[in-house]
Structure 1
C-alpha cells in the first residue's frame, strides 16, 4: 500500500469532505433523506440507498485521497484491474455497480475507524501492513478483500480502541 502524498491533518481529516460529497449526491435523488453530512455513515438506510444507486467515480476519487490504499490495492479489493479503474476514471458520469460501491464504502468506514483509533493515517497504514497475532498472523490489510475479513479488522480495531490486546 502506497501512502503517496496522503497525510492526515488534525481537524481537517477529509472525512467531512467525503461525507458532504456523498450527502449532496444522495440528496439529489432522495430529497426526503434530510442528510446531515457528518451523519451519513451512521444512517445505515441512507448507506443502503447509496449502495443501490451506485457511487460516481468523482466521489471515489475523494475517498481515495483519504485512505491509505494505492490504485493496485483498490483494484484488488474491488476485483478489477488497474486498467479498468483508469477506464472508469475517463468515463463521463461513471457510476460504480452496487457491489463495488458497497466495498468502497466499507473501506471508507474501516479507514475512518482506523484513523480514529491510531490518530493519523500513517500509523493506521503501518498497522494495516504489520502481521497481527490476534488476526492469525495475517496483515489486517490482506483481510480487507472480503466482508468477513473486514469484520475481523473492525473487531480488532474496536479491541485496540478499548485497550483489549490479544
Structure 2
C-alpha cells in the first residue's frame, strides 16, 4: 500500500492570525491594577518584571475593590493572613509571590469581562456554584494555580459555546 503525503500549499500554512483573534478589543488586565501603565506591560517579559518588582498594597486593595473581593478573600487567594496584609503600609511594596497572584487575578477578571461582556456578569458567574466544579463556586478555586487554570479553560469553552 502506498500513501501519498498531502503537500500543504503556502496559503494553508500562512493563514492570517487575525482569523483567530476574538471579535472586539480585549480588556487590558492592567486597567484593574491602579498605577500600572500600558507602556510598562507591553510584553510577557514586562509582566514578569512587574511581578518580580512587586506591587504596592494600595494597588492590591484597589484590585480587590474592582473585583468585589473582601480583604479576607484576597488574602486567601494570595496565601497570606488578612492581618498580615493589613499591617502593610498602603505604599509598601508587596512581595513577588503576592504580586504574581494579584496579576493573575487581574488577568483572569479582564478575560472574564471579555468573555461575558461585562464585569458584573463575570463577577456573578464567579460567585455561582457550578456543576463542572463539583458544586463549588469558581471564586473558591482561586487559592491554587490549578484552580486558575480550570477557570481559564472554562472561559475558553464558554467563549466557543461549549457548555459542560
Q: Fold-level match, TM-score > 0.5?
A: yes
Contact 2:56-2:94 within 8 A present in 1 as well: yes
Alignment counterpart, residue 161 of structure 1, candidates 143, 159, 162: 159
Contact 1:71-1:82 within 8 A present in 2 as well: yes
1:113 maps to which residue? 111
2:39 maps to which residue? 36
1:6 maps to which residue? none
Question: What secondary structure, in the 3-state scheme, does the structure 1 residue paired with 2:93 have?
Answer: coil
Structure 1 residue ranges without an equivalent (≥5): 1-12, 24-34
1:1-166 pair list within 5 angstroms: 17-18=31-32, 21-23=35-37, 36=39, 40=41, 43-88=43-88, 91=89, 93-166=91-164
**Structure 2: how far apart are the matches of 1:164 and 1:123?**
18
> Could you say which structure has the larger radius of gyration?
2
**Structure 2: how far apart are the matches of 1:66 and 1:20?**
10
State the TM-score, normalized to the length of structure 2: 0.73
**Structure 2: how far apart are the matches of 1:159 and 1:150?**
14
**Structure 1: how far apart are the matches of 2:90 and 2:110?**
28
